[in-house]
């Protein structure tokens, strides 16, 4: 696969201390890194630019789902063949992106989604593991796609699929919405085992287990009323 046609979208909110290294690491392999600075109040945009990313700046904080859709829109306009989504806090590994792109090629899937449960190397804290297990069960109940990891930020989406997907849930519930749309548009999805590097930083920046309830509410509200 031609890596210059792969665009890596990194949604970032107040990630000034992490985003520089993350962008630099991706840029070693992928020339096009698009950081969506979601209205950060720190130096996220400047740090990302310094590391060689194209920076899209939300003037107001709109949430990770909104940032992802902005990044996807931009990449499609630039002619991306594959859009990769990658978290800004350093929890993903660039080598896993290569495995996901390879999986797209070999399986002919439209979307590849990372799963931290297919590979047991992730040093997942017990509470996080339990919350994600429940979220995954919930997702399997509400949509027809059998995935093992409900909310993994690492994804690779082919252009044709990215054109059909439209994230409207601005907050964190976008991950479930995405799975729904994969289902609705009959997109072929493949799961790829990935390793999440949990650090004190990524855990502090991540969602609390209580936030899961809020995320579930956002998602259900959307399913019922729109």
Partner 1 sequence: MTTFQLVTLPILVAFVIGTAIVAARRRMTPRLGIAWMLLWLAAAVAIAFPELLVELARFLGIGRGADLVFYVSILGTFLAFFLTYLRFRRVEDQLTEIVRHLAILNAEGEDKSPR
Task: Give the footprint of partner 1 on this chain (CB under 8 A).
Answer: 36, 39, 54-60, 62-63, 66, 69-70, 73-74, 77, 168, 170, 225
Distance between CA 64 and CA 12 in Å, rounded? 8
CB atoms within 10 A of CB 200: 7
Between 68 and 101, CB nearer to partner 1: 68
Distance between CA 118 and CA 195 in Å, rounded? 9
* Residue 19 · residue 45 · CB < 8 Å: no
**Which runs of consecutive H residues, i.e. helices, occur in the chain?**
19-27, 44-50, 64-77, 94-107, 126-142, 159-164, 174-184, 200-205, 211-225
Please report the sign of the dihedral spanned by the C-alpha atoms of residue 102, residue 107, residue 111, residue 115: negative
Q: How far is the CB of 145 from partner 1 (least distance, A)?
A: 25
Q: How far is the CB of 54 from partner 1 (least distance, A)?
A: 6
Q: How far is the CB of 103 from partner 1 (least distance, A)?
A: 29
Between 75 and 109, CB nearer to partner 1: 75
Cα–Cα nearest to 156, from 65, 76, 81, 70 = 81
* Residue 121 · residue 195 · CB < 8 Å: yes
Between 28 and 224, CB nearer to partner 1: 224
CB proximity list for 27: less than 8 A, separation 6 or greater: 33, 51, 52, 53
Q: How far is the CB of 11 from partner 1 (least distance, A)?
A: 12
Between 63 and 90, CB nearer to partner 1: 63
Between 210 and 225, CB nearer to partner 1: 225
Between 70 and 85, CB nearer to partner 1: 70
Q: How far is the CB of 3 from partner 1 (least distance, A)?
A: 20
Q: How far is the CB of 38 from partner 1 (least distance, A)?
A: 9
């Amino acid at each position: 696969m031609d890596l210059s046609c792969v665009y890596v979208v990194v949604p970032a909110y107040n990630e000034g201390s992490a985003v520089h290294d993350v962008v630099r690491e991706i840029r070693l392999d992928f020339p096009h890194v698009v950081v969506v600075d979601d209205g950060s109040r720190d130096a996220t945009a400047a740090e990302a630019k310094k590391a060689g990313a194209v920076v899209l700046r939300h003037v107001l904080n709109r949430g990770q789902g909104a940032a992802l859709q902005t990044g996807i829109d931009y990449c499609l306009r630039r002619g991306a063949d594959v859009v990769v989504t990658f978290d800004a806090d350093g929890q993903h590994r660039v080598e896993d992106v290569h495995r996901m792109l390879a999986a797209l090629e070999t399986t002919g899937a439209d979307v590849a989604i990372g799963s931290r449960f297919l590979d047991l190397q992730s040093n997942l804290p017990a509470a996080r593991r339990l919350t994600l297990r429940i979220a995954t069960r919930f997702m399997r109940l509400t949509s027809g796609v059998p995935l093992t990891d409900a909310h993994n930020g690492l994804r690779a989406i082919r252009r044709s699929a990215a054109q059909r997907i439209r994230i409207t849930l601005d907050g964190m519930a976008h991950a479930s919405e995405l799975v729904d749309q994969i289902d609705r548009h009959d997109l072929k999805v493949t799961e790829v085992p990935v390793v999440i590097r949990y650090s004190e930083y990524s855990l502090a920046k991540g969602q609390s287990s209580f936030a899961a309830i809020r995320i579930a509410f956002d998602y259900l509200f959307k399913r019922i009323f729109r």
